[in-house]
Amino acid sequence: MELEQDLMVSERKKKPFRWHVLVFLAPAVIVYTMIMILPLAETLRFSFFQRDTITQAISFVGLENYIKLFFDPYWVEPFLNSLWNNCYFFLIHMLVQNPIGILIAALLSMVHLPGKKLYRIAIFMPTLLSFVVVGFVWKLMLSPLWGVSKGLMKSVGVGSWYLPFLGKEETALTTLSLISVWQFIGIPMMLIYAALLSIPDEVIEAAECDGVTGISQFFKIKLVLILPTIGIISILTFVGNFNAFDLIYTTQGPLAGPNFSTDLLGTILYRTFYGQQLQPGDPNMGAAIATVMFFIILTGVAIYLFFIQRKLTRYEM
């Protein structure tokens, strides 16, 4: 006993500074801090400054940029428009992408044929494409110049429903949301498929013994067990959607046409930062918008972590 204590004391005394821990950690921490955390903080700080239009000197203006953003009609209208569009964009993903992802995953876990692998590979493929490709492919397909979508719709008897979907204010945002769903459906499919596979056989067998099979088995048992995965997918979708920019930029250009009907927070940030046809770029206002986006995303993540994730019971499997 005494010897043991002696050993412990001497060990504590002898322990030299472990340089290797520092060496292992340093590169990652330095790069991450320098390129990600400090610029983020810098962006927050930058949003409290503004360049004087006459003297060109940059000075501290307090909350002026935010007051402009929230109360000046010149700023607040496009900002609220893009915020609303962004919420709608997210809603479509939640209502279309995730349920279809769950459906595909459930069907995949049901099928017992070799074709299953091919389905997975095919349905996941669009996720790998760049937004430039996705944007232009759909733009070309939906273009009234190229009769592909009109021809296809005619062949299933709904030719009269054809509209230049991306060119009309009423349909452009929905169309873009669905294109984005088309692109990213593979992610919920894969994650939920993995979650379904990890449900142990004993649980399913027990359910079958109790006569719970088929569709009711899916809703009463499997769906409950994969709720944590659905939660993760929802928050991933949220962060991705409120940060979206590329798809709108490649299909509709930085002005997010027609008439700003597809403007998202990402595109308004880009325009403010870089300027557009009639207006020079304003990095300080851009920083203010980025800060607002930061807090929107942070709020979403916090709601997920503190309310949703806690409520979801994790079953040890």
Window 184 to 243, contacts with other proteins (CB under 8 A): 185-186, 190-191, 193-195, 197-198, 214, 235, 239, 243
Q: Tell me the CB-side half-sphere exposure of residue 59, using CA atoms within 13 A.
A: 7
Considering only 115, 157, 211, 280, the residue that binds other proteins (CB under 8 A) is: 115
| Helix/strand/coil (H/E/C) assignment for every residue in the chain | CHHHHHHHHHHHHHCCCCHHHHHHHHHHHHHHHHHHHHHHHHHHHHCCEEECCCCCCEEECCCHHHHHHHHCHHHHHHHHHHHHHHHHHHHHHHHHHHHHHHHHHHHHHHCCCCHHHHHHHHHHHHHHCCHHHHHHHHHHHHCCCCCHHHHHHHHCCCHHHCCCCCCCHHHHHHHHHHHHHHHHCHHHHHHHHHHHHCCCHHHHHHHHHCCCCHHHHHHHHHHHHCHHHHHHHHHHHHHHHCCCCHHHHHHHCCCCCCCCCCCCHHHHHHHHHHEECCEECCHHHHHHHHHHHHHHHHHHHHHHHHHHHHHCCCCCC
Considering only 46, 89, 90, 165, the residue that binds other proteins (CB under 8 A) is: 46
Considering only 273, 275, 308, 309, the residue that binds other proteins (CB under 8 A) is: 273
Considering only 297, 308, 309, 312, the residue that binds other proteins (CB under 8 A) is: 297
Identify which of residues 136 and 170 has a Cβ nearer to other proteins in the complex. Answer: 136
309 touching other proteins, by CB under 8 A: no
Yes or no: say if 96 and 181 are a contact pair by the CB < 8 Å rule.
yes
Burial of 52 (0-12, 13-18, 19+ CB in 10 A): exposed
255 touching other proteins, by CB under 8 A: no
Window contacting other proteins (CB under 8 A); options: 4-12, 18-26, 54-62, 166-174: 18-26
Question: How many residues interact with other proteins (rule CB under 8 A)?
Answer: 90
Window contacting other proteins (CB under 8 A); options: 1-9, 24-32, 82-90, 160-168: 24-32
Identify which of residues 23 and 278 has a Cβ nearer to other proteins in the complex. Answer: 23
Give, as ranges, the residues between 62 and 91 that touch other proteins (CB under 8 A): none
Identify which of residues 64 and 246 has a Cβ nearer to other proteins in the complex. Answer: 246
Give, as ranges, the residues between 123 and 182 that touch other proteins (CB under 8 A): 123-133, 136-138, 140-141, 146-148, 151, 182
Window contacting other proteins (CB under 8 A); options: 20-28, 52-60, 81-89, 90-98: 20-28
CB of 2 to other proteins, least distance (A): 26
Window contacting other proteins (CB under 8 A); options: 21-29, 66-74, 83-91, 217-225: 21-29
Considering only 70, 88, 119, 162, the residue that binds other proteins (CB under 8 A) is: 119
Considering only 91, 110, 224, 303, the residue that binds other proteins (CB under 8 A) is: 110
Considering only 122, 206, 224, 303, the residue that binds other proteins (CB under 8 A) is: 122
